[in-house]
Amino acid sequence: MKNKLYFLIIVFLLLIGLVSCNQSNELKEVQILFKPSFLFSTKFTVDVKEGLIKQYTYQDKYSNREWVDSVSYKVNVKDTLIIHYKRSFHVDSIVLNKFLNELKASRLDSTARHRASILDGIHYKFSKVYASKDTISLTSNLIRRNEKSQLEYKLLDAFFELAYKSINDYEGISGLENIQDYFYYGLPIRKVGDNPFEYRVWGTISGCREDNEDFIKFLNSLPLDKPVIFDLRNGSIAYCLSEVLEEFSKKRLLFFYGDKDAIKSKRIIEEIEIAEKNGEVLSELRKQAYETHKEIYEYWKKNKKINSYLTKKELLRFIIDK
């Protein structure tokens, strides 16, 4: 009887040990830290237990110029945390499970560091954090999609898919797009609506006709008899491609809104006109700025061959009235 009791106690202790071991080996969260050149650092945390993705954009120092005399200055750097954006978003369980399965399939099983020699780009770090506080990380600055960056792009693809399906705030989405723009994801166009069809241009489509075979293929794939809207608020299409857009606008119902250059020029024109109306004496520099931005805005405004509007509200009003 006593031996049987001892046996049951040992089995019980072994079971507790196994449960405790499994719990400590559970994945608690996945952290993705991006440090891009020319942008503030952003950290994303995928909380596995809570089913959340947290987005946090910050800077941990800032600098200011202190003029020594009329021609020289020194730069002072201060270690001060400044938070620019901080929000959490729910992650659908199906989306989360797919992300975790892809993370597992990536075989990030040990800490690694991959580096290439670059001047400007982006440094990033994927970290798997366990309940035991053990952490496995990949630190990298590889941006090209090739043989060397297979692990990176397995992780990046899975992350961006989860993030776009979960983040539903405009500022958060814009920040995510600005980070993705550092990597090689082909044509920077993403479908965001079906009724009507709407595409968001989230990066720069540069060059002219001969440089944009993929873009022209994309335009050819659009429906002939249904309106298609392009959101340009966080992207742009080179003016060199205006003739291409004019050509396709004759065959398809293409509409554009949010041209950043037109919006910026209109704002600057209005600011200078208000300043002059209030009696401010304009410097030659501001007068030149006024003429430059007036030219940009008038060019955009007079281009009737492309259905372009400053806001989506104006665009939709035109479609409905039409």
- Checking if the pLDDT of 138 tops 70, the result is yes
| pLDDT surpassing 60 at residue 132 | yes
Q: What are phi and psi of 278, to 5 degrees?
A: -85, 10
Q: Would the pLDDT of 168 be above 60? A: yes
Banded model confidence at residue 11, pLDDT cuts 50, 70, 90: very low
- Band of the pLDDT at 21, cuts 50, 70, 90? very low
Three-state secondary structure string covering the chain:
CHHHHHHHHHHHHHHHHHHHHHHHCCEEEEEEEEEECCCCEEEEEEECCCCEEEEEEEECCEEEEEECCCCCEEEEEECCCEEEEEEEEECCHHHHHHHHHHHHHHCCCCCEEECCCCCCCEEEEEEEEECCCCEEEEEECCCCCCHHHHHHHHHHHHHHHHHHHHCCCHHHHHHHHHHHCCCCCCCCEEEEEECCEEEEECCEECCCHHHCHHHHHHHHHCCCCCCEEEECCCCEECHHHHHHHHHHHHHCCEEEECCHHHHHHHHHHHHHHHHHHCCCCCCHHHHHHHHHHHHHHHHHHHCCCCEEECCHHHHHHHHHHC
Q: Is residue 7's pLDDT more than 80?
A: no
Query: Pairing relation of β-strands 197-201 and 189-194?
Result: antiparallel
CA distances (Å), origin 297, targets 183, 203, 277: 32, 21, 20
Mean pLDDT of 174-200: 96
- Average pLDDT over every residue of 216-221: 97
Check residue 18 and give its pLDDT: 44
Q: Are 189 and 201 in contact (CB under 8 A)?
A: yes
The predicted-structure confidence for 33-80, as pLDDT tens digits, reads as follows 999 999 999 999 999 999 999 999 999 888 888 777 767 788 888 888
Structure pTM? 0.85
Q: What integer pLDDT is reported at residue 322 of this predicted model?
A: 60
